[in-house]
Amino acid sequence: MPPEPPDASTVSGHLQGLARRIRALRERRGLTQEDLAARCGISVSFASLLERGERSPSYETLLQVAAALQLPLWELLRLEDTKDAGVHRLEAFVQGRGLARADVDRLLSVAEVMFNGPAPAPATEDLQAVRPEPARCGEPGCDKPVLARSLCAAHYHRERRRKAASPGTGGT
């Protein structure tokens, strides 16, 4: 028995969701409707209709919109999951900067410190294999997590101020 076609309210709801997603992704990338339309080869009025969910895009238009927003088609069409809110932004950040695994681990270490200390460790015997020890400040006697250049936030900013104040380094 073939599946029943979706009712009009379901189709309309998905179209509205797609419209909101296109607009949010466009705005997140700092594009105007005019920019998006030019990148897609469509009129500004059609781009506006798409973003309001008043027109159903063809497959070709969906491909053009995805390319204009620099993401794969599946990402444009996926249904929002409130549990993964923001995950796609983190993925785009990591991919856009070509971060290696070690860089991602450092980024997560900083995030853990920013958001009230380390996250609970997974229940496992070999914690070192799961989560590497975060880098620590290189200043003698300081054991704080690293912000940048092997220094904690306090030592990093102190070093920047010292360099800015030194003659011949661009400081005043």
Q: Residue 141: left if φ>0, alpha if ψ -120 to 50, beta else—which one?
A: left
Quick one: tokens of 96?
Answer: 């856009």
Domain ranges of the chain: 8-78, 99-117+131-172
> For 83-107, what is the mean pLDDT?
79
Is 1.10.260.40 the CATH classification of the domain at 8-78? Answer: yes
Q: Is the sign of the CA dihedral 55, 58, 59, 65 positive or negative?
A: negative
Rounded Cα distance between 24 and 53, Å, is 13
- C-alpha 93, offset from chain centre: 4
Band (pLDDT 50/70/90 cuts) for residue 125 is low
Query: For 139-166, how does the pLDDT look when each residue is reduced to its tens digit (9 = 90+)?
Result: 888 878 776 667 777 877 788 888 888 7
Q: CA nearest 110: which of 154, 148, 138?
A: 148
DSSP class of residue 79 equals P
Residue scoring higher pLDDT (122 or 113): 113
The mean pLDDT of the chain is 79
pTM of the model: 0.46
Residues 6+ apart with CB under 8 A from 51: 19, 22, 23, 26, 33
* 133 or 131, higher pLDDT: 133
Predicted local confidence at residue 127, as pLDDT:
46
DSSP state of 144: P
Amino acid at 141: G
Q: Using alpha carbons, select from 115, 113, 156, 158 the residue that is nearest to residue 134.
A: 113
